[in-house]
Structure 1
């Protein structure tokens, strides 16, 4: 799987520095650390250009190691998450694609917030993904997206609203101009047979990829 983000945002969720994630991180032209997410910079081999947040989840070691970074510091009592603040800073660079590393797993409310933020960014024209390393989630909005997946890689289409005009190519089970209502599991646990293409006429959701779960 290949993804080349213009901007990489480091969030504080669980992260495994898989080869795919390290490769994607290395292609970003701008790296922003959101609060405690700075701890992932070393594992991914990147140097943040900006450190954003209220700094309530940063340990003393990272405060010392990354003391030279430019900061945008906010009070703890604020009306946006650190991920949102980092995304706002990223949008000033006019990215076409964005990756939240460490955006999956951890506290459920933050994970759900990160997923919906990714969809909101995609609806603004920024191709957006989140990754923990083994697991990736791509925001799915019209007109759709394409991914180059190795044969046997598990993936799922998860509706976050009613999906209209859904066409799916490149999976063991394909769809043609289908309706996928909110709450439907019909798009779950497919297997890639190579490049996967999704066309979507209306609605929004996620394309979730289990990069570590390739079937034998």
Structure 2
């Protein structure tokens, strides 16, 4: 592992990310890591990343801005994204990703793919409107009534729920079949799922709530 932390880690990508968003994530995860070009966002926020991981196609520009060589960790293979390279080389209870949503839809979809392919890595992505994460085997969220709860499958998965306006028990979710967007909380919500295939999408205002819930949730998916 390139980065090992007992605390939550903030991972910054090269997509849309504001100084305020980086600061918000850092308040929850003080170790700062950049996925290649995400280092530019860190420097713009006057923050020096503890590590930069990726294929380093921006290496020249980053080195010129004073990032020490020992902080740069090049992984030159082109079979995976910089998000994938970074996430698989971080060991932490939770990773907060900012700068991976928006800008390009193909990059965003690729990040969702990585969440499912690396289910043992707990990671929450912060976007301009939502937070997205892979549902663990069991999840409890303390939500206010009316909070939007969207469930989107990236594979065949079933589950049960308590506290949702439209319960999911008995439903088979698939990307090309039934999905669960625009559900709503009646209050605290509990969801259990059969496999690491279901994305949970909540309003971005719930970031701190989600972090607290995931860190308090026992059990995790094994590595695939």
Give the alignment's TM-score, normalised by structure 1.
Answer: 0.75
Contact 1:53 1:74 in 2 (8 A): yes
The alignment status of 1:201 with 2:191, answered yes or no, reads: no
Alpha-carbon displacement from aligned partner over 1:80-137 (angstroms, at most 9, x marks no partner): 32112212321xxx32222221122232332222111112222x2x322211242111
Distance 1:208-1:95 versus aligned 2 partners, 3 A rule:
same
Count of equivalent residues: 199
Question: Which consecutive aligned stretches of 4+ in structure 1 deviate over 6 angstroms post-superposition?
Answer: none
> What is the 5 A alignment of 1:47-196?
47-57=48-58, 60=61, 63-68=63-68, 70-75=71-76, 78-90=78-90, 94-122=91-119, 124=120, 126-141=121-136, 143-164=137-158, 166-196=159-189
Q: Select which of 8, 11, 17 maps to 2:10.
A: 8
Q: CA deviation at 1:12?
A: 1.1
Q: RMSD over aligned Cα, in angstroms?
A: 3.0
Equivalent residue of 2:11, what SS? strand
Equivalent residue of 1:79, what SS? coil
Distance 1:44-1:194 versus aligned 2 partners, 3 A rule:
farther
Distance 1:101-1:202 versus aligned 2 partners, 3 A rule:
same
> Which stretch of structure 1 is more off in the superposition, 51-60 or 186-195?
51-60
Gaps of 5+ in 2: 1-6, 207-224
Q: CA deviation at 1:207?
A: 0.6
